[in-house]
Amino acid sequence: MRLALLLAVLLAPASHARADAMLKVGDPFPTWTMPDQTGKSVSSSDLGGKTYLLWFYPKAMTPGCTAEGRGLRDEVDAFRKQGVEILGVSFDDPATNEAFVKAESFPFRLLSDQTRQLAVRVGAADSPSAPVARRISYLVGPDGKVRQVYASVNPASHAKDVLGALSDS
């Protein structure tokens, strides 16, 4: 049963977070600190004054997560022109995320939320025992407030969807 649930989440083209668990546009994004793929501690305070996209993904090196990461990688210059830093978040350990970064030549950091604390606070998981994160994203502005919420993410088009919303704003 647990394996079937895990496979359903990993292979789903999009996921929907519970609306009551999601932050809303204008809400302050919770403060956080997590290790990146090198084990270096990264925190929201390090990003103060910057706009960043925090994309939660279920599992490194799985088809949907790889497609989503590649899309973001391929559009990284467009994100940089918009002043947006990309940060991925999963429950994978730093070593697994490091292998994912190397395998896919990702030019952005992947963070490990192994305690699931942030994921639970923002609707990417229902509990600290969740096997994987939901595929959701938040665009956080330089003021630390949510600029955009992506509760339903299509891995193949997510990068272009976010860039389109940035162009419209």
Domains of the chain and any CATH numbers: 2-168 (3.40.30.10)
Locate 164 and state its tokens: 């389109």
Residue 21: band (very low, low, confident or very high) from pLDDT cuts 50, 70, 90: confident
Higher pLDDT residue, 21 or 4?
21
Does the annotation count 91 as an active-site position? Answer: no
As a whole number, the mean pLDDT across the chain is: 90
Higher pLDDT residue, 152 or 168?
152
Residue 5: band (very low, low, confident or very high) from pLDDT cuts 50, 70, 90: very low
| Neighbour tally for 25: CB within 10 Å | 12
Residue 12 confidence (pLDDT) = 42
- Catalytic option among 47, 65, 132, 133: 65
| Whole-number Å distance between alpha carbons of 133 and 33 | 17
Residue 20: band (very low, low, confident or very high) from pLDDT cuts 50, 70, 90: low
Higher pLDDT residue, 86 or 15?
86
- Determine the average pLDDT of the residues in 145-165: 95
What single-letter amino acid sits at 115? T
Q: Which of 16-20, 68-72, 83-87, 114-118 has the lowest mean pLDDT?
A: 16-20
Residue 42 pairs in a beta bridge with 34
pTM of the predicted model as reported, rounded to 2 decimal places: 0.88
Backbone angles phi, psi at 66, to 5 degrees: -65, -45
